[in-house]
Structure formats: structure tokens, C-alpha cells
Amino acid sequence: MSGDSYEGLRLDPNWPGIEEGARNHVDRAALRNLARSLQEELDRLTGPASAHGQQASGTLDDLEFWGNIDPRHIGTWDVAQKYGETVKKAHTEIFQIYGDLVAQYQAVISTIQRAAGNWDDAEQASGGRETAAQA
């Protein structure tokens, strides 16, 4: 370095919220409402299986119960047995993927809830005006 000296961190003057006195605000109530809405939708995917004779609602339990066809139910001849095995494998894979989707969906909800809580904690720790109850 030929005579160059460090002049400190330079922030982009056009960065949103960087202007003097700017205050970042996160609507924590909106985050909690979003998490609540997502949870209600997730609950519809994870509820109990539909009773016999009722239309299946598409829950994970429905998929496990109504979609789990034993190869013997398809037929006993060789082609039916092979097809039945394929159906059984497909059901197992679909059930696993559906379960993974439900787990990731729940993780998103939990992350949103934690984010709202983290903003509450940061606001309180910095002596902010809003409390968790107001947000």
C-alpha cells in the first residue's frame, strides 16, 4: 500500500434507511398474524383422517390411511402384484415428501414467530418505545 490509509467503513449513501434519523420498523403484529394464518392452513393439512364414507380432506393422516393400498387389494396375478408393489412404493415416497413439506411449513411458521420475538427483545433492550404488548 503506497501511502493509502484506512478511512473507516464507508456505507452506501443510497442504502434504504441509512439517512440520518431513519428508523427501521417491523410490524410485529403483522408477522404474528401471518404466522397465525399459516398455522391455520397447516392445521388443515395435518388434522385427523376423514371418517369412512366422508370425502377425504387431504390431510397427512388421510394420505396415510386412504392412499396406503396393499398390493393384495389390486390382484393376485403376477402383473397385478408388480403393479401393487409400484403403487406401494409410490405411496411411501409421496407420504414422505408430504411429511417433509409439513415439517418445512412448520419451520417457516416457527421462524416467523421467532423473528417477531427477536424484534420485541431488540426493541426493549435498546430502550425503544414499543413494548411487546404494543407491537
Q: Measured over all CA atoms, what is the biggest interatomic distance in the chain, rounded to whole angstroms?
A: 87
Grid coordinates belonging to 96: 414422505
* Helix, strand, or coil (residue 86): helix
Residue 64 to residue 49: CA distance in whole angstroms: 8
Instruction: Report d(CA 85, CA 74) in Å as an integer.
Output: 10
Look-up of cell digits 414467530: 113
pLDDT in tens, 80-122: 999 999 999 999 999 999 999 999 999 999 999 999 999 999 8
Domain definitions of the chain by residue range: 28-125
pLDDT at 129: 61
| Band (135; pLDDT cuts 50, 70, 90) | very low
Give the mean model confidence (pLDDT) for residues 62-66: 85
Task: Supply the pTM of this predicted model.
Answer: 0.68
What percent of the chain clears pLDDT 90, i.e. is strictly above it? 43
Distances 122 to 27, 38, 43, 76 between C-alpha atoms, Å: 13, 25, 31, 65
Residue 15 DSSP code: S
